[in-house]
Structure 1
């Protein structure tokens, strides 16, 4: 379906608003968010002059399916692994000179993002709970499991941890307390220890344990200009701002998992890409889903199993992603 003129105008305004927001946040946190331009992070479709920066667990398989379809490939019977392999073959890496030339064409640059909390839950479902490295799983359980229960017993311990974090980052303790009061997400979700109902196999980390592990891993980096520390974080939960450098690459569109269908229609129309011979409903664009409860339904449940101060640790770990892309912790309350 081709978007109407009014819808196209509205979408363009939304994209302009997102770009303006990024520009403002980058100006406020330049030392923390500056990254070096790395064309290796961009996938170039030189036929349609598209440049796409992939963020894991933000619709990557869906977008690769779509890009391959626009390039004339039938992806109807391909599984996710085959789609990723085909993308490497059809869209090979460009050298610095070729990439710069394509960017100057100019290519239509875009990246895809997702609510940081639902993304983390998706990463937990698809990676940590599915045969992730056993040595890492055992280390997480050893460090974060408290008497085989999912909830911490001492809020004081949580606060002391956050005070330590405030010394590593630009967040003062006063800032942290203020944010805790600002969002109902930290107050309205009731703590519920339903470990036995949610987790059938306690030999793997619970979501709480996984989320604290990820948060501490990110926050320990201290958001330094040198991003080498964050580069060591698994790509499936590495912050968006570190991988796709929105403060250094001027993306023409910031698309979102939450509006995938609308975004892909507008990009297709804007770039003059004809409809593919196979109908969209027969492509694998929306087939890459995990079994079991939906990610949205699990997000509120999983975060209710964390104390307010533990939730704050996760929020701080992804603070810049929230700010750059216009998400709020309170979005989860509305799920």
Structure 2
């Protein structure tokens, strides 16, 4: 954990100092992704597709939120525990609070977001409804009627390919991305807040154990929830990465890597694994 934090601070020292306006905008963007657990003196920047569902399911049990437990709409815990602007400013600067953030390999997270929020036809998502038509207008120059675009249950009838999804993304400013695939570096104010813990998907259970012990949550929550709720994804990760990213021509692959360049730097990730898989 200390090595991650030291690395992050070193990278931040090399980043340009933002203007006051830019810093204020980043603070507000971070607040919107932040949960504050007052009784545990814990602040967490929650990142979708980086273990957020497991974390929020644990919180639903911790606070006995029966509605969320019943509906399994765990994402609602972000709104429930979101601080006011004033409280966010206080907590984010307080040495008394443990401050944690979540992250995942950028290209792994991007693919997971596409498969879950765009491609998967077993459930309806707001991302498919909003971005499906936009992606197809961008890549095919076509506007579909709602009847042609969606099944009666709300799922996509015409599903954009991963290539089309990525092509659409690189044509847009990353700041405007949906939170499920917006770079972590644009969500959690990595160089604005003195984080004291970094949770990575690759060592998720161990990292969450650390946070729960440090905050005292381990005394109030059944720790087996970590393994029960941990969503490891669907299928062999290497095969999936190879299958989807091999559909991108080298120039497009390099463009999407550039979009997430700060995430790669700040969490010491490399794109070489993906590049090797598709070469």
Q: TM-score, normalised by structure 2?
A: 0.76
Q: How does 1:1-335 map to 2 (within 5 A)?
A: 15-31=1-17, 35-36=23-24, 37-38=27-28, 39-71=31-63, 78-81=70-73, 83-86=74-77, 88-89=79-80, 91=81, 93-103=82-92, 104=94, 106-130=96-120, 131-133=128-130, 134-142=132-140, 203-218=158-173, 230-276=174-220, 278=222, 280-281=224-225, 285-286=229-230, 288=231, 293-294=235-236, 296-332=238-274, 333=276
Aligned residues: 249
2-side partners of 1:281 and 1:76: how far apart?
Answer: 15
Q: Higher relative contact order at CA 8 Å, sep ≥6: structure 1 or structure 2?
A: 1
8 A Cα contact 1:76 1:282, kept in partner: no
2-side partners of 1:47 and 1:106: how far apart?
Answer: 12
What CA deviation, in whole Å up to 9, does each residue of 1:194-252 have, x standing for no partner? xxxxxxx993221112112212313xxxxxxxxxxx44221111111111110101110
What CA deviation, in whole Å up to 9, does each residue of 1:65-120 have, x standing for no partner? 22333446679954541x2335533x2x3333333443426211001000100111
2-side partners of 1:216 and 1:80: how far apart?
Answer: 34
What CA deviation, in whole Å up to 9, does each residue of 1:175-210 have, x standing for no partner? xxxxxxxxxxxxxxxxxxxxxxxxxx9932211121
8 A Cα contact 2:33 2:45, kept in partner: yes
- What is the CA distance between 1:325 and its match in structure 2? 0.6
Q: Aligned in 2, Cα 1:293/1:110: closer, same or farther, shift over 3 Å?
A: same
Q: Larger C-alpha radius of gyration, 1 or 2?
A: 1
Runs of 4 or more, structure 1, over 6 Å off, are none
2-side partners of 1:296 and 1:109: how far apart?
Answer: 32
8 A Cα contact 2:135 2:164, kept in partner: no
Q: Aligned in 2, Cα 1:127/1:45: closer, same or farther, shift over 3 Å?
A: same
2-side partners of 1:233 and 1:279: how far apart?
Answer: 34
Q: TM-score, normalised by structure 1?
A: 0.65
8 A Cα contact 1:110 1:252, kept in partner: yes
2-side partners of 1:47 and 1:112: how far apart?
Answer: 21
Q: Which residue of 2 aligns with 1:197?
A: none
Structure 2 residues without counterparts, runs of 5 or longer = 121-127, 143-155
8 A Cα contact 1:35 1:247, kept in partner: no
- What is the CA distance between 1:311 and its match in structure 2? 1.1
Q: Aligned in 2, Cα 1:213/1:273: closer, same or farther, shift over 3 Å?
A: same
Structure 1 residues without counterparts, runs of 5 or longer = 1-14, 145-200, 219-229
